[in-house]
């Protein structure tokens, strides 16, 4: 049996409401909230970045895994908002967590799918018997351009998973990936904000890849939606995951626990993974969980998990996503713009 | 001003919260020392510090020094960790009016500073109210 | 050990002195002291200076000063102990005379702080704290003393007003000191309405950034008597102590152990007790520092310093006049010069030459010079011989 030994989530303390952003651009907040099905999103502090978020999530994962960090043989981190264009985040995490120096690490990028990739590679390495434990993390503090639709959704957060072959809390039953070259959303090197293609990001990108990946997984594993307890999809806004879930044959009850975007926003590489941690925060022994990520460019990774009884034993060792959702602090647009580096400061600023 | 070798050399303290404990009198210190300041013994062992503690005193820095202006204003305090070890740490993600002497805190991993947009980023531990 | 007398004093105006370089300030104070002493030569000199390297990009300033004073080849040494550099240099000069090694030693304290911008000066000052473990958490000097103030208020109920009264008193005294940086009278309201720097310390709780120099000439007491030009003032006692570099590793946050220990040494050497002191110049780098210090020196019980100030006990006509010169707050704080400036001001008091700030007939004076957040303290006791 190979699977998750420990999981951890992290979101920042600060939030901004949709109304605050809409006010500045003189857009209709109620229309936006109804259209996006998002109320507010997380905002990172000036001293947070995708590395600090990855560390906190990984720390929580270690608390649940209860293993010696030195036994982790690989660390992979996926992000599209790495603090350095050249210099790995994974080496910082590996050193800071006490995993270094006998470890293999790498940074992954695949838009919002980079986190699930890290998990996929971690799982594969353990399955191949090359390492005892491997840590896969998805973490982002992505930017949305001012006045752009993405400004309402791009937020910060991360999730970490330690994969192993003993003391499993969620067994990996099957995986299935679906990838094509589809330029729905991208950011060129040196550019501060990303570009996206509006409606093209829907059917040809998000829906095609998620549906093909999820269907492919269910076929390969020989399961139908009815036999799955919960399904978690990538959540760029509140509507897409509900729509794709319905198209795949899932009910609202199956989608609800993993549907966290209304209060968190889209945490990019952390997104579907954070939704998955919200499910792990409440899942019971025997539950079957489908997780399908989506990364623009484009691709989807699907996983099928079965929960073991150990989950309930270790779950309480670290805070749940709900614990973090309950501790929050609202900021106004000016503070948000400052924190996100959107204000042109002077030399001594 | 912030030189790389020195920052790299102090990694274990900043990243892994390594301190030292005197084998003779049990006095714990952060950063680790080679000589116990209490009893003078040279027999000290490296320990991993606890991650929770309480505030002994604090202030709010409104005029920040060079390199820290982007975070101002910020609270900073003397923290006494569960095992008695003392450290100085910024108190983040907490409303200023909620901070007080005696309140409980836990350590968190954050950016300490970076030398401008192109410089290296230094990470370490600060704390927040729990 | 021979007894040592202060035979000559000199001090420049303190302030933002755009026209004067470090050399200019050093020479001005030194010449004034040498001329005041009436000696015809000096054997050796010590220069107290904190950070000429970061402030004017010049190290090795002792021979530089000796050179420009026309005093090469006498031995010249720079002493650095943060803000206690001045008194630390004094101690070295004292030892050289007391030991019999030299007969005439000049001690100069000098600092040139305004050639750099204020943030750069603040950065230089911060180097006196623990760089890795305090500096990297974004600490500043006002913040370090604010930590002390918060705790002092918590443990003893010291009030915001009591802190303000220290600044008010020192400005009042400075207004009558022609060499002081500030001559304006301020009220407690002025202090409390000034910008907050690090809670609870406002701008007016903090000593300023200053240029200045001060110098004294030391001789053995017996030979001083032959000079016959001033009242003979001797250094009756001098004590020094160290404490942890970082404030977070101190035993107490309301007391400076180095002050207590240095004072103990000085009192013992001079065979005096706190109640014998007639006038004191203490290190009020921040208002809270004066409150803690008058307690740590034994003038008042621990925790009662604020009360004492509020009741006027440290005014010029009070039980123990503290900082009649205006202190660091009113006079200015050219870091390396301060410790020596305190001696100059006290010698003026003991000679009866302190002008409008003259304390009534003092015989015994105490100078308290503190470095960093209290990691070095030097206490000097002067007595009319």
Average pLDDT over residues C100-129: 95
Residues of chain A neighbouring B98 (CB-CB closer than 8 A): none
Angle among Cα C56, C59, C62 to the nearest 5 degrees reads 110
3-state secondary structure of B47: strand
Does residue C129 lie within any of the structural domains?
no
A198 — pLDDT class (breaks 50, 70, 90): confident
Cβ separation of B121 and A348 shorter than 8 Å? Answer: no
Residue B112 has pLDDT above 80, yes or no: yes
Does residue A348 lie within any of the structural domains?
no
* Statement to judge: residues A220 and A150 lie in one domain: no
* Statement to judge: residues A157 and A202 lie in one domain: no
Residues of chain B neighbouring C143 (CB-CB closer than 8 A): 59, 61, 76
* Statement to judge: residues A229 and A185 lie in one domain: yes
Q: Select which of A20, A151, A234, A263 is catalytic.
A: A234
Give Cα separations from A341 to A45, A335, C39, C195 (angstroms). Answer: 11, 10, 64, 26
Q: What is the pLDDT of residues A223-262, one digit of tens each?
A: 999 999 999 999 999 999 999 999 999 999 999 999 999 9
pLDDT reported for residue B67: 86
Distance between CA atoms of residues C153 and A176, nearest Å = 64
* Statement to judge: residues A233 and A159 lie in one domain: no
Does residue A160 lie within any of the structural domains?
yes
* Tally of domains in chain C: 2
The CATH code of the domain that includes C177 is: 3.40.47.10
* Statement to judge: residues A150 and A59 lie in one domain: yes
Does residue C135 lie within any of the structural domains?
no
Does residue A349 lie within any of the structural domains?
no
Cβ separation of C146 and B63 shorter than 8 Å? Answer: no
* Statement to judge: residues C295 and C158 lie in one domain: yes
The neighbouring-strand residues paired with C280 are C322, C366
Q: Which chain B residue is nearest to residue C201, measuring alpha carbons?
A: B59
Residues in C lying within 8 Å of B, measured between beta carbons: 119-120, 122-123, 126, 132-140, 142-143, 146-151, 154, 195-201, 244, 246-249, 253
3-state secondary structure of A47: coil
Which of C216, C181, C191 minimizes the C-alpha distance to C6?
Answer: C216
Residues of chain B neighbouring A329 (CB-CB closer than 8 A): 93, 95
Which of A138, A152, A167, A170 minimizes the C-alpha distance to A50?
Answer: A138
Chain B closest-CA separation from residue C104 CA (Å):
39
* Statement to judge: residues A184 and A130 lie in one domain: no
- Number of C-beta neighbours around residue A37 at 10 A: 17
Tokens of C99: 């030991």
Residues of chain B neighbouring A47 (CB-CB closer than 8 A): 71, 90, 92, 110-112, 126
Cβ separation of B59 and C147 shorter than 8 Å? Answer: yes
* Tally of domains in chain A: 2
Q: Is A329's Cβ below 8 Å from some Cβ in B?
A: yes
Residues of chain A neighbouring B128 (CB-CB closer than 8 A): 13
**Neighbors of chain B by Cβ distance (3+ pairs < 8 Å):** A, C
pLDDT reported for residue B1: 62
Residues in B lying within 8 Å of A, measured between beta carbons: 11, 15-16, 66, 69-71, 90, 92-93, 95, 108-112, 121, 123, 126, 128
pLDDT reported for residue A196: 87
Backbone angles phi, psi at A223, to 5 degrees: -125, 155
Cβ separation of A47 and B11 shorter than 8 Å? Answer: no
Residue whose pair of structure tokens reads 């005193």 in the numeric block: B57
Cβ separation of A51 and B108 shorter than 8 Å? Answer: no
Question: Terminus-to-terminus CA distance in chain B, angstroms?
Answer: 34
Does residue C131 lie within any of the structural domains?
no
Residue whose pair of structure tokens reads 């489908």 in the numeric block: A290
DSSP state, C232? -
* Statement to judge: residues C169 and C245 lie in one domain: yes
Which of A2-16, B3-17, C95-109 has the weakest average pLDDT? B3-17
* Statement to judge: residues C103 and C49 lie in one domain: yes
* Statement to judge: residues C319 and C218 lie in one domain: no
A41 touches A163 (CB < 8 A): no
Residues of chain A neighbouring B71 (CB-CB closer than 8 A): 46-47
Residue numbers of C annotated as active site = 83, 333
Which of C314, C368, C371 minimizes the C-alpha distance to C341?
Answer: C368
* Statement to judge: residues C214 and C201 lie in one domain: no
Cβ separation of B110 and A45 shorter than 8 Å? Answer: yes
* Statement to judge: residues C190 and C219 lie in one domain: no
Q: Is A48's Cβ below 8 Å from some Cβ in B?
A: yes
Chain B closest-CA separation from residue C330 CA (Å):
21
* Statement to judge: residues A25 and A139 lie in one domain: yes
- The structural domains of chain B, ordered by start, are 4-129 (2.40.50.840)
* Statement to judge: residues C186 and C322 lie in one domain: yes
Give Cα separations from A92 to A262, A263, C122, C240, C243 (angstroms). Answer: 31, 29, 31, 45, 35
Q: Select which of A80, A117, A151, A263 is catalytic.
A: A80
Residue of A47, A83, A331, A339 to mutate, interface with B, max B Cβ within 10 Å: A47
Q: How far is CA A85 from the centre of its chain?
A: 20
Residues of chain A neighbouring B11 (CB-CB closer than 8 A): 95
Q: What is the pLDDT of residues C280-291, one digit of tens each?
A: 999 999 999 999
* Statement to judge: residues A193 and A163 lie in one domain: no
Distance between CA atoms of residues A221 and C72, nearest Å = 92
Q: Which chain C residue is nearest to residue B3, measuring alpha carbons?
A: C132
Of B68, B78, B79, Cβ closest to residue C138: B68
Residue A349 has pLDDT above 70, yes or no: no
Residue B2 has pLDDT above 80, yes or no: no
Strand order in the sheet with C233-242: C76-79, C44-48, C105-111, C212-220, C4-11, C233-242, C376-384, C364-371, C279-281
Residue C228 has pLDDT above 80, yes or no: no
* Statement to judge: residues A160 and A247 lie in one domain: no
| Residue C326, domain extent | 140-205+236-331+338-384
Residue A110 has pLDDT above 80, yes or no: yes
Residue A348 has pLDDT above 70, yes or no: no
Distance between CA atoms of residues C256 and C376, nearest Å = 10
* Statement to judge: residues A74 and A98 lie in one domain: yes
Does residue C124 lie within any of the structural domains?
no
* Statement to judge: residues C351 and C218 lie in one domain: no
Does residue A346 lie within any of the structural domains?
no
Average pLDDT over residues C17-44: 97
* Statement to judge: residues C166 and C219 lie in one domain: no
Chain B closest-CA separation from residue C264 CA (Å):
21
Tokens of C342: 């305190």
Chain A closest-CA separation from residue B69 CA (Å):
6
3-state secondary structure of C288: helix
Tokens of C335: 């870091």
Catalytic site residue A104?
no
Strand order in the sheet with B44-48: B28-29, B18-22, B44-48
Q: Give the number of beta-carbon pairs within 8 Å between B and C.
A: 103
* Statement to judge: residues A92 and A210 lie in one domain: no
Does residue A347 lie within any of the structural domains?
no
* Statement to judge: residues C61 and C185 lie in one domain: no
Cβ separation of C197 and B63 shorter than 8 Å? Answer: yes
C215 touches C32 (CB < 8 A): yes
Q: Which chain B residue is nearest to residue A45, measuring alpha carbons?
A: B93
* Statement to judge: residues C160 and C89 lie in one domain: no
C169: left (phi over 0), alpha (psi -120 to 50) or beta: alpha
Cβ burial of A337 (10 Å; 0-12, 13-18, 19+) is: middle
Residue B104 has pLDDT above 90, yes or no: yes
Q: Which chain A residue is nearest to residue B108, measuring alpha carbons?
A: A56
Cβ separation of A56 and B108 shorter than 8 Å? Answer: yes
pLDDT reported for residue A193: 87
Q: What is the pLDDT of residues C308-336, one digit of tens each?
A: 999 999 999 999 999 999 999 999 999 99
* Statement to judge: residues A189 and A237 lie in one domain: yes
Chain B closest-CA separation from residue A303 CA (Å):
30
Distance between CA atoms of residues C64 and C58, nearest Å = 10
A190 — pLDDT class (breaks 50, 70, 90): confident
Between A189 and C220, name the one with better pLDDT: C220
Residue A206 has pLDDT above 90, yes or no: yes
* Statement to judge: residues C326 and C284 lie in one domain: yes
Chain A closest-CA separation from residue B39 CA (Å):
30
| Residue A204, domain extent | 171-311
Cβ separation of B111 and A92 shorter than 8 Å? Answer: no
């Amino acid at each position: 049996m190979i699977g998750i030994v420990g999981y951890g989530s992290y979101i920042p303390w600060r939030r901004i409401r949709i109304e605050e952003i809409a006010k500045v651009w003189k857009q209709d907040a109620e229309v936006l909230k109804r259209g996006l099905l998002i109320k507010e999103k997380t905002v990172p502090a000036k001293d947070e970045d995708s590395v600090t978020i990855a560390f906190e999530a990984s720390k929580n994962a270690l608390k649940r895994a209860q293993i010696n960090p030195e036994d982790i043989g690989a660390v992979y981190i996926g992000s599209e908002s790495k603090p350095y264009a050249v210099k790995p985040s994974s080496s910082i995490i590996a050193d800071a967590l006490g995993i270094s120096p006998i470890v293999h690490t790498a940074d992954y990028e695949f838009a919002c799918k980079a986190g699930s990739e890290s998990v996929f590679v971690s799982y594969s390495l353990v399955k191949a018997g090359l390492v005892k434990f491997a840590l896969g993390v998805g973490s982002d503090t992505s930017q949305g351009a001012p006045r752009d639709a993405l400004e309402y959704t791009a937020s910060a957060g991360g999730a970490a998973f330690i994969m192993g072959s003993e003391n499993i809390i969620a067994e990996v039953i099957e995986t299935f990936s679906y990838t094509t070259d589809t330029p729905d959303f991208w950011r060129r090197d040196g550019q501060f904000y990303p570009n996206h293609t509006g409606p093209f990001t829907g059917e040809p990108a998000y829906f095609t890849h998620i549906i093909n990946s999820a269907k492919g997984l269910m076929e390969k594993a020989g399961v139908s939606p009815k036999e799955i307890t919960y399904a978690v999809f990538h959540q760029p806004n509140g509507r897409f995951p509900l729509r794709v879930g319905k198209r795949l044959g899932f009910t609202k009850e199956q989608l609800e626990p993993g549907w966290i975007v209304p209060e968190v926003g889209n945490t990019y590489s952390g997104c579907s993974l954070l939704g998955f941690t919200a499910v792990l925060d409440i899942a019971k022994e025997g539950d079957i969980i489908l997780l399908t990520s989506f990364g623009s460019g484009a691709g989807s990774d699907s996983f099928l998990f079965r929960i073991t009884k150990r989950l309930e034993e270790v779950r309480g060792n670290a805070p749940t996503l709900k614990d973090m959702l309950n501790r929050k602090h609202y900021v106004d647009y000016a503070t948000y713009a400052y924190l996100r580096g959107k204000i042109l400061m002077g030399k001594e600023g | 001003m912030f030189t790389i070798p020195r920052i790299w050399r102090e990694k274990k303290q900043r990243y892994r919260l390594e301190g030292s404990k005197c084998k003779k009198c049990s006095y714990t210190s952060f950063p680790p020392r080679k000589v116990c300041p209490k009893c003078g013994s040279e027999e000290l062992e490296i320990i991993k510090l606890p991650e929770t503690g309480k505030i002994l005193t604090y202030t709010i820095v409104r005029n920040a020094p060079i390199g820290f202006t982007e975070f101002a204003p910020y609270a900073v305090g003397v923290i006494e960790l569960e095992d008695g070890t003392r450290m100085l740490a910024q108190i983040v993600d907490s409303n200023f009016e909620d901070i007080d002497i005696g309140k409980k805190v836990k350590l968190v991993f954050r950016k300490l500073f970076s030398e401008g947009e192109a410089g290296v980023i230094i990470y370490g531990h600060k704390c927040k109210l729990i | 050990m021979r007894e040592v007398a202060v035979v000559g004093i000199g001090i420049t105006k303190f302030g933002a002195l755009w026209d004067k370089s470090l050399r200019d300030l050093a020479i001005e104070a030194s010449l004034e002291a040498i001329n005041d002493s009436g000696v015809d030569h000096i054997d050796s000199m010590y220069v107290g200076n904190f950070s000429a390297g970061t402030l004017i990009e010049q190290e090795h300033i002792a021979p530089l000063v000796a050179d420009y004073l026309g005093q090469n080849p006498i031995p010249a040494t720079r002493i650095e102990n943060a803000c206690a550099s001045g008194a630390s240099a004094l101690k070295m000069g004292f030892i050289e005379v007391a030991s019999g090694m030299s007969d005439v030693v000049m001690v100069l304290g000098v600092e040139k702080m305004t050639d750099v911008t204020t943030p750069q000066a603040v950065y230089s000052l911060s180097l006196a704290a623990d760089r890795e473990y305090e500096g990297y958490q974004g600490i500043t000097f006002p913040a370090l003393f604010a930590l002390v103030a918060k705790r002092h208020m918590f443990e003893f109920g010291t009030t915001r007003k009591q802190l303000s009264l220290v600044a008010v008193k020192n400005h009042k005294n400075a207004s009558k000191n022609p060499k002081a940086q500030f001559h304006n009278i301020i009220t407690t309201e002025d202090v409390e309405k000034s910008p907050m720097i690090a809670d609870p310390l406002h701008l007016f709780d903090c000593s300023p950034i200053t240029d200045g120099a001060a110098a004294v000439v030391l001789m053995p007491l017996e030979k001083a008597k032959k000079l016959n030009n001033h009242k003979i003032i001797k250094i009756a006692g001098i004590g020094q102590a160290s404490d942890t570099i970082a404030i977070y590793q101190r035993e107490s946050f309301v007391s400076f152990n180095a002050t207590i220990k240095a004072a103990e040494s000085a009192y013992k050497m001079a065979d005096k007790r706190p109640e014998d002191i007639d006038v004191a110049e203490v290190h009020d780098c921040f208002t809270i520092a004066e409150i803690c210090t008058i307690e740590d020196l034994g003038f008042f019980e621990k925790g009662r310093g604020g009360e004492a100030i509020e009741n006027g006990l440290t005014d010029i006509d009070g039980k123990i006049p503290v900082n009649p010169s205006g202190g660091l707050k009113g006079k200015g704080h050219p870091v390396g010069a301060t410790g020596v400036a305190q001696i100059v001001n006290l010698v003026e008091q003991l000679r009866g030459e302190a002008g409008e700030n003259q304390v009534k007939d003092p015989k015994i004076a105490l100078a308290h010079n503190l470095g960093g957040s209290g990691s070095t303290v030097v206490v000097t006791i002067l007595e009319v011989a």
